[in-house]
Amino acid sequence: MRLLIPLLLAVITLTGCKRNEEAFVRSVVSSVGPAILLGDAAILASQPATKEGFPEPASVLPASFHAFAPIETWRYGQQIVIDTARHLQHRVGVVIQPVNHPEPTNGGGSRYVRIAPGIYFYES
């Protein structure tokens, strides 16, 4: 019982400090601009991957992607996935893909919310 109160206070403190990731992603997309993000994603996707199966190093990312303060950035063909937060296996961030690609579908523990054509908030 003596440890229960400090534990509860720690959980409340940590939960209260967590930012709203969807609002953060929407804010960055709005400030940078969807057209710039789509253009930079197309340029990055047209270049060879630095190392297949690994996140892209920050040094090869366009400046517009740095606005998200990415934890990791992954390439899946023409699709770019920028992780803005990770809590154990739970990841959240933004997906940028060509507008002619089919929309990502919710399922398998993943949720996508369209922010602009070709740009989606995601959590999985």
pLDDT in tens, 7-38: 544 444 444 445 799 999 999 999 999 999 99
Q: Has residue 58 been placed in a domain?
A: yes
Distance CA 36, CA 124 (A): 25
Higher pLDDT, 102 or 23: 23
Res. 2 pLDDT band, cuts 50 70 90: low
Cα dihedral across residues 63, 69, 73, 78: positive or negative: negative
* Cα dihedral: 100, 109, 61, 32 (round 10): 70
Structural domain including 27 reads: 19-123
Distance CA 16, CA 30 (A): 25
pLDDT at residue 99, rounded to an integer: 87
Q: Has residue 14 been placed in a domain?
A: no
Q: Has residue 105 been placed in a domain?
A: yes
User: Domains in the chain: how many in total?
Assistant: 1
Q: Has residue 8 been placed in a domain?
A: no
pLDDT at residue 12, rounded to an integer: 46
Q: What is the CA radius of gyration of the chain?
A: 17
Q: Has residue 73 been placed in a domain?
A: yes
Average pLDDT along the chain: 87
Q: Has residue 12 been placed in a domain?
A: no
pLDDT at residue 89, rounded to an integer: 86
Predicted structure pTM score = 0.81
pLDDT at residue 26, rounded to an integer: 97
Contacts for 47-52 with beta carbons within 8 Å, 24 or more apart?
A: 49/75
pLDDT in tens, 42-87: 999 998 888 877 899 999 999 999 999 999 999 988 899 999 999 8
